[in-house]
Amino acid sequence: MQLLNEAGYIEKMDPNEYNMHDLFDEYSRFPGHWKGDDLYSVIVRFGYLGVSFNTTIISHEEAMDYNILWDSKLTGKVGHFDWHLPNL
């Protein structure tokens, strides 16, 4: 959002049009959605994404470094789940 805002591609939003009181306090003014007192975007989904791995293919130590994701022994075996499309 910060880059879109800096480029002038998005307009200010009225926070009164959204149920901000339904959010946990730490998410009602989520960094990047606000510039000063001006709202530019709202959270529509929140969650944590984790990484799982097959211990017969890579070791715990290898899994602790994100560079393993580019190791040739994992070619065609790495996937990622992302929810961006329903939000568009």
Strand-pairing partners, residue 38, are 35
Tokens of 52: 């799982």
Please give the mean pLDDT across all residues of the chain. 84
Is the pLDDT assigned to residue 20 strictly greater than 90?
no
- Average pLDDT of the segment spanning 50-69: 91
Instruction: Tell me the three state secondary structure of residue 10.
Output: coil
Supply 67's token pair: 């560079």
Q: Is the pLDDT of residue 86 over 70?
A: no
Instruction: Report the phi/psi class of residue 60: left, alpha or beta, with left for phi > 0 and alpha for psi in -120 to 50.
Output: alpha
